[in-house]
Structure 1
Amino acid sequence: MLKQLTQLKIALDESSIVAVTDQKGRIQYVNDKFCEISKYSRAELIGRDHRIVNSGYHGKEFFHELWETILSGRVWRGELRNRAKDGSLYWVYTTIVPFLNKDGEPYQFLAIRNEVTPLKNAEAELKRMMTRVMHIQEEERKRISRELHDGIGQSLFGLAIQLDRLLAEPGHAPELANIRQDLSSLMQDVRGLAWELRPSVLDDLGVAPALRSYTELFTQHYGIQVRFSCKLSARFDRRIETALYRIVQEALTNIGKYAKVLEARVEVWESDGFIHVCIEDEGVGFAPLPERQGVGLFSMEERARGVGGTAQVDSAPGQGTVVTADLPKRLLTT
């Protein structure tokens, strides 16, 4: 039995970062991998608590929840960003196991960690790439929309004027009236396409008028009445306004396609430092499954994350869907 425990310790020390602390969090044991990644010697670590590697990334609530979990005798699992002695940062996936006395109270904690810094760096790079891709996409949408409106749209308008002149002349060909009608339909389609790509009102007047116009067009297209409320006192960074507009657009599009309702609600308001949006329907709903996350939900979450915000969807079969997002009023510079 002792031999098996020794072999288990050797295997654990070879594969993981290990520390043992007392009930107050004072370090009693660290293995070589802990010293290697933290760049502290064993003598510098023994008797200290884990604040010695605290990076300041996680808030008080995070550690309060951690301690509440392990002091209750439950195992805690999660990711931690720590700071080594030389100031470098590293991420570890951590499992903290409480050892309980005969009264069921923790007297010691075993922390087993595995470094996930490369994975976290890859995730961060992926997010940066996604943000960049969405920015490029919006710029292309804007460019094509302007070309449709100012180029093709104006050419069609000029053609319409010429047809109107011909129609005003006596003895014109009867087919001209049908051509003029087809041209009007084509002009309307071009305007609709330009709007769908990127409405000029979003850049010219801001997100509030753009959303109001979009909800009106949405009602005309889907026959779903939108109760719209927007209480924004100012304009914001173009990227934040774009993210807000696209989140509402995506949520309403999903309602139009899947919710099977006659009414939806969109509310936009602000608080200190944040813009809040809630898009709600009382339709068929769905059971959210992480492994089957749709492109729409992914797009909303990424747009919010791209400006430093968050977005989430709450739904259940037969209970409708609520999409909420919180976006900062100002972009954080990094």
Structure 2
Amino acid sequence: MDKDSQIQLNNNNTPASRNATILVDGKGLIAYSNQQACHIFGYEYGEMTGSELNKFMPEIDVYTAKEGMIIHQLGKHRMGHDFSLFFRINAFCFGTNQFFLIVFNSVKDQSRLKSAHAYHLNELVDLKYALDESTIVAFTDQRGIITYVNDKFCEVSKYSAEELIGKDHRMINSGYHSKEFMKELWQTIGNGEVWRGEIKNQAKDGSYYWVDTTIVPFLNEKGKPYKYLAIRNEITEYKQVVDELKKSVNELSDLKFALDASSIVAITDQKGIIHYVNDQFCRISKYSRDELIGKDHRIINSGYHHKRFFADLWRTIASGIVWKGEIKNRAKDGTYYWVDTTIVPFLDEHRRPYQYLAIRHEITKRKKAEEELQLMMTKIINVQEEERRRLSRELHDGIGQNLYSHLITINRLQSDVNHPLLDQMQDEAAEIIEELRDLSWTLRPSVLDDLGLIPAIRSFLVRFSDHTHINVYFDCYLNTRLNENKEITIYRIIQEALTNIRKYADTEEATVTIREMEDEVRVMIEDKGKGFDIQAVSRGVGLFSMEERAKAVKGNITIQSLKDKGTKIILDVPL
């Protein structure tokens, strides 16, 4: 018998094996294909014989396939479409010729196999083990009756396999989902389509758990589901986190609504370019949202604040620190408004600001009231100074001159009459004159009006040191003569500060420094005495007076003090 007659079978015979088989020679030509093999490729029995195997299985390489490997590749049907094939290849020699026997495994569900993979049988076992360890797995028949559950299913549901097999999934129904939800699920898988979603189930002990579920229908030759594979992953903690996040989002939405209803809100990038404004911002600034987005806040700059004010603002927020303060802005129509402002930097992973949130509250009415109050305080201070000036002049020019005349009269009497009472009257008159001079000086030194601030301060410091025995070092660099109100303010604050040093500092030295800077005059009064806790000490009349005087000339006063470290008072007055 020749080779062909030995390997050919009678065309009219049906092979005993239920598996499809193809025999391929060493050249890759089909020497034989049984009826099942022809059927799965869409050919009549015998039509494939003599053809190249790659015509039907384009990806196959019979020379490199390993013994005992189940291979999954795509076959080419006679009608032109691709379909999945599972097969094994066994190589053998017949005489001097090499042959390859391809045995196809029956695959009932081929509807969703799109790509080619190859697995060893032991790899399939490993895959099943990994799936069972990590995933909740269940098989049901086409009616939904459970036919298989893995250990993970039992662990999560707290039912035994015996309690689950033969039942349907209503056993773990939590009642959370609507009938429409379940109806849509069954319609999907009943049509042979994969269903994915999240389901809340109830365990045997009454506790609830969530599972991320994929249900895969297995289809028969007619494309109808004959069983379902449900693969689930427990996501209970995830759902709890999501619920908390939803609550947080709702709370944030409520907060945003409340914030937008009550506050002026803007968000800028790290360069100060506006990215978001709320309706309140547009209302008060009288600019539209389109006019503001993409601009910076210079669009509403009123010019009221000094450059150093904004330099300090930017230095603060660029350092990642919240800035709080009051800003005067200008609306589109040229009107001015005040806002109490808080600017919050948002920091990236490097602790650098990537955007800023500015929350403002309009305080225009309050600032107007403060300005009116400040104007009234300024008037009171001016009236007070005028009254001091008048009293000082009266004491000096009126009572003082009269007393001086009496002293001259007493001196003349002493030249004619030698009596102890005249000597006593002379001493008492001299003491009264000196006290009047001190009182007049305290009320309003004439040198301040006649010669100006610096001579008045020098004269005051000499008198202060003589009376208190506290050495005061005076350092002055001032080329500009200030207006009367500013000079009086500086003089009075130095006077009040040194009086407090005399009363409370317990020191023998102090320093007064005056510096003319670019656009302001800075005055510092410093001592190295006892110091005090600023937070613990209540604001007295002296401090209140200094603050109000500074405000009256649009200046600013700050006090720095530490226990046993001394005190420093800094006054900044604009030129």
Please identify which structure carries the higher helix content.
1
Shift of 1:259: 1.4
Q: 1:191 to 1:117 in 2, by over 3 A?
A: same
Flag the structure with higher strand content: 2
Q: Is the 8 A contact 1:279 1:323 kept in 2?
A: yes
Residue 466 of structure 2 corresponds to which residue in structure 1? 220
Instruction: Give the aligned partner of residue 336 of structure 2.
Output: 89
CA distance in 1, matches of 2:348, 2:508: 60
Aligned to 1:79: 326
Q: 1:215 to 1:69 in 2, by over 3 A?
A: closer
Distance 1:229 1:64 in 2: 28
**1:147 matches 2:397:** no
**Per the alignment, do residues 258 and 46 of structure 1 end up closer, same or farther by CA in structure 2, a change over 3 Å counting?**
closer
Q: Which has the higher contact order (CA 8 A, sep 6+)?
A: 1
Q: Which amino acid aligns with 1:319?
A: K
Aligned 8 A contact 1:297 1:313 in 2: no
TM-score (norm. length: structure 1): 0.82
Q: Kindly tell me the number of residue pairs found equivalent between the two proteins.
A: 328
Q: After superposition, what is the alpha-carbon deviation per residue over 1:34-76, rounded to whole angstroms, capped at 9, x for unaligned?
A: 2221222344445544443333445666556656666676654
How far is the alpha carbon of 1:22 from its aligned partner?
5.8
Select the structure of larger CA radius of gyration: 2
Match of 2:379 among 132, 135, 146: 132
Aligned with residue 248 of structure 1, among 470, 488, 494: 494
- Given candidates 245, 269, 287, the residue that maps to 1:40 is 287
Map of 1:317 onto structure 2:
563
Q: Is residue 2:300 matched to residue 1:53?
A: yes
TM-score, normalising length: structure 2:
0.50
Q: Does 1:194 align with 2:461?
A: no
Distance 1:23 1:280 in 2: 39
State the distance in 2 between where 1:213 and 1:22 align.
55
State the alpha-carbon separation in 2 of the partners of residues 223 and 109 from structure 1. 54
More divergent stretch after superposition (113-122 vs 140-149): 113-122
Deviation at 1:173, TM superposition (A): 5.3
Q: What is the DSSP-based 3-state SS (H/G/I as helix, E as strand, rest coil) of the residue aligned with 2:333?
A: coil
Task: Give the drift of 1:194.
Answer: 0.9
Per-residue CA deviation, residues 234-291 of structure 1 (Å, 9 max, x unaligned), is 6443223222221221121111111112222333344455444332222111122387
Q: Distance in 1 between matches of 2:570 and 2:347?
A: 42
Matched residue of 1:92: which SS? strand
Aligned to 1:204: 450
Unaligned runs of 5+ in 1: none
User: Residue 403 of structure 2 is aligned with which of 149, 156, 167?
Assistant: 156
In structure 2, stretches of 5+ residues that fail to align are: 1-246
Residue in structure 1 matching 2:259, options 12, 18, 25: 12
Amino acid across the alignment from 1:140: E
Distance 1:278 1:3 in 2: 53
**Structure-2 change in CA distance of 1:182 and 1:89 (3 Å):** same
Q: Does 1:283 align with 2:529?
A: yes
User: For the residues of structure 2 that align with 1:10 and 1:107, how far apart are their CA atoms?
Assistant: 24
Distance change (3 Å), C-alpha of 1:20 and 1:163? closer
How well do the aligned residues superpose, as a CA RMSD in angstroms?
3.2
One-letter amino acid of the counterpart of residue 286, structure 2: K
Match of 2:484 in 1: 238
Identical residues among aligned pairs (%) = 54
Find the counterpart in structure 1 of residue 422 from structure 2. 176
- Matching residue of 2:164: none
